[in-house]
């Protein structure tokens, strides 16, 4: 702890380490006299110590709830996703069957780095990717910091930089998987509703006994979703919740996607295949949602599309090792890759995907390297044309200016 005066200021400032959050605090004492400033600093420290002594103990479940409530109060678009993630962490909600979870009734100030390392190991055993685990660890850290800032008891080890084993976040090296045209066409043909396709679960048992007409309708919905997800570049949550008032029927010349992550709306292109899907579904609409579930609301997931990806061999061990695992989100990557391999610029793809920063779009930049190289080569050829004469060994264009005799 110390007192200091900034350059050009006559007022003394206090500088100390908060005993609860472990963060550096710099506050003005609002006085020009050092003795009075020292008394104010002592008051700051005394109040901080009292706060540390009367800190309320809070469980992990309560800490996550308080943090997510603060996100909702601030109208953060990530609040809904964070609440579902918090339920999964403590073994509640729709994902309560997962094996590796944290004890939600445990006081967070008792959490130690070894507990988090065991949790990470368990999540890896559950088959979760490094990116998913990183999101979960970040939520726990954020919740702990939030309640500690409220004066509650938090895990002090999280703030101690001298520890050999801090709360590490796994490095995410997940590959950006996108589909080639042949792979996508294979998936499209597999979902043909008029073609008898043996529906087999991953365990090898026969698919549920359902009328052929119902199976045909499910395959048609999955195929329509495949077209819409790939050719609009929308996230699953954006396309599955799409309503008719956002596609401008019956012309269908615009689609307005609402970005749940960015809380912004964007216009996306409407290729012919997407327009055909919208026109056909509009003629048989039974709900305000374009791709309704049985209850008329938005679809949560479609097992048929997941199963089709696996049945088409897109997740064979060789392909997963070389390119990463194919998921529904890979269709969004496919949209970006096809645009960049065509004539689209990186900034145009950024707008189409709804990315807030160009850095998020640069993951696809390598796909346009050949196009960029050809473009730059054409520019250089235009500047330095290949009209060198046999006698011109300098490599530069021949000077055709008139010679002057002296």
Q: Are 196 and 327 within one domain?
A: yes
Residue 391 within a domain: no
The whole-model pTM stands at: 0.59
Residues 290 and 238 occupy one common structural domain: yes
Q: How far is CA 351 from CA 44, 77, 338, 357, in A?
A: 49, 19, 15, 10
Same domain, 91 and 209: no
Beta bridge mates, 259: 264
DSSP 386: S
pLDDT given for residue 281 in this prediction: 93
Q: Are 341 and 274 in a shared domain?
A: yes
* Domain assignment of residue 24, given as a range: 2-53
- Are 203 and 317 within one domain? yes
What CATH number should be reported for the domain holding residue 196?
A: 1.10.443.10
Q: Token pair 């445990």 is at which residue?
A: 106
Residues 29 and 130 in one domain: no
Give the helix/strand (H/E) hosting 375.
helix 369-383
The pair of structure tokens assigned to 232 is: 């609009």
Instruction: Check whether residue 135 and residue 201 sit in a common domain.
Output: no
Claim to verify: residue 101 and residue 7 sit in the same structural domain = no
The continuous run of DSSP H or E covering 22 comes out as none
Q: Hey, which residues are catalytic here?
A: 235, 261, 329, 332, 355, 364
Distances (CA, A) of 152 to 59, 83, 120, 310: 10, 21, 25, 48
**Domain boundary residue, one of 109, 143, 158:** 158
Say if 319 falls within a structural domain: yes
In a domain, 175, yes or no: no
Domain count for the chain, please give it: 3
Closest CA to 219 of 243, 180, 190: 190
Domain assignment present for residue 333? The answer is yes
Asked if residue 256 is part of any domain, the answer here is: yes
Same domain, yes or no: 42 and 85: no
**Same domain for 140 and 14:** no
d(CA 265, CA 361): 18
What pLDDT does residue 144 have? Answer: 85
pLDDT for 182: 93
Distances (CA, A) of 11 to 17, 34, 38, 320: 20, 9, 12, 63
Q: How far apart are CA 170 and CA 124, in angstroms?
A: 11
Strand partners, 28: 13
Question: Could you tell me if residue 400 is inside a domain?
Answer: no
Query: Is 170 among the domain residues?
Result: no
Domain end point (choices 37, 53, 69): 53
200 DSSP 8-state letter = B
198, 265: one domain: yes
* pLDDT, position 217: 85
Residue 234 domain flag = yes
Q: Report the distance separating Cα 163 and Cα 183, nearest Å.
A: 49
Reading the chain (406 residues) residue by residue, the pLDDT tens digits are 688 888 888 898 888 777 656 677 888 888 889 899 888 888 887 777 766 555 677 888 888 988 998 888 887 777 888 888 888 888 876 544 456 778 888 888 788 777 888 888 888 877 777 778 888 888 888 888 888 777 777 775 554 444 444 466 656 556 678 899 999 999 999 998 887 655 544 444 444 445 677 788 888 999 999 999 999 999 888 898 899 999 988 888 889 888 766 678 888 888 999 999 999 999 998 889 999 887 777 787 778 888 889 889 998 888 888 888 888 889 999 998 888 888 788 888 888 888 888 877 887 777 766 666 666 666 777 776 655 544 454 444 445 444 434 3
Domain shared by 129 and 201, yes or no? no
Query: Which tokens is 372 given?
Result: 């960029």
What pLDDT, on a 0 to 100 scale, did the predictor assign at position 290?
92
């Amino acid at each position: 702890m110390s007192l200091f005066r900034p350059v050009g200021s006559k007022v003394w400032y206090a500088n100390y380490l908060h005993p609860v959050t472990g963060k550096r605090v710099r506050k003005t004492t609002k006085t020009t006299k050092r003795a009075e400033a020292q008394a104010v600093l002592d008051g700051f420290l005394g109040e901080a110590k009292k706060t540390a002594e009367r800190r309320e103990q809070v469980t992990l479940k309560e800490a996550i709830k308080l943090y997510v409530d603060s996100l909702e109060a601030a109208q953060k678009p990530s609040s809904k996703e964070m609440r579902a993630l918090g339920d999964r962490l403590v073994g509640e909600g729709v994902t309560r069957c997962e094996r590796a979870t944290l004890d939600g009734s445990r006081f967070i100030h008792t959490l130690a780095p070894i507990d988090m390392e065991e949790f990470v190991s368990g999540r890896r055993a559950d088959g979760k990717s490094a990116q998913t685990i990183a999101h979960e660890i970040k939520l726990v850290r954020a919740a702990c910091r939030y309640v500690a800032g409220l004066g509650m008891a938090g895990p002090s080890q999280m703030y101690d930089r001298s520890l050999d084993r801090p709360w590490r976040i796994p490095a995410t090296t997940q590959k950006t998987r996108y589909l080639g045209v042949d792979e996508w066409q294979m998936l499209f043909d597999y979902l043909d509703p008029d073609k008898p396709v043996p529906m087999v679960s991953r365990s090898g048992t026969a698919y549920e006994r359902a009328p052929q007409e119902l199976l045909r309708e499910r395959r048609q919905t999955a195929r329509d979703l495949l077209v819409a997800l790939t050719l609009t570049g929308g996230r699953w949550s954006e396309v599955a919740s799409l309503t008719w008032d956002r596609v401008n029927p019956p012309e269908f010349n615009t689609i307005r996607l609402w970005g749940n992550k960015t809380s912004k709306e964007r216009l996306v292109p409407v290729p012919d295949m997407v327009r055909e899907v919208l026109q056909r579904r509009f003629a048989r609409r039974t709900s305000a949602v374009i791709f309704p579930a049985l209850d008329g609301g938005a679809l949560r997931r479609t097992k048929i599309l997941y199963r089709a990806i696996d049945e088409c061999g897109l997740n064979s061990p060789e392909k997963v090792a070389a390119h990463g695992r194919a998921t529904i989100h890979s269709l969004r990557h496919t949209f970006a890759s096809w645009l960049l391999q065509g004539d689209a610029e990186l900034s145009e793809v950024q707008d189409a995907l709804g990315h807030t920063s160009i850095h998020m779009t640069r993951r696809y930049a390598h796909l346009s390297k050949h196009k960029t190289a050809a473009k730059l080569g054409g520019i250089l050829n235009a500047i330095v044309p290949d009209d060198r004469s046999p006698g011109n060994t300098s490599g530069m264009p021949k000077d055709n200016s008139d010679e002057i005799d002296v």
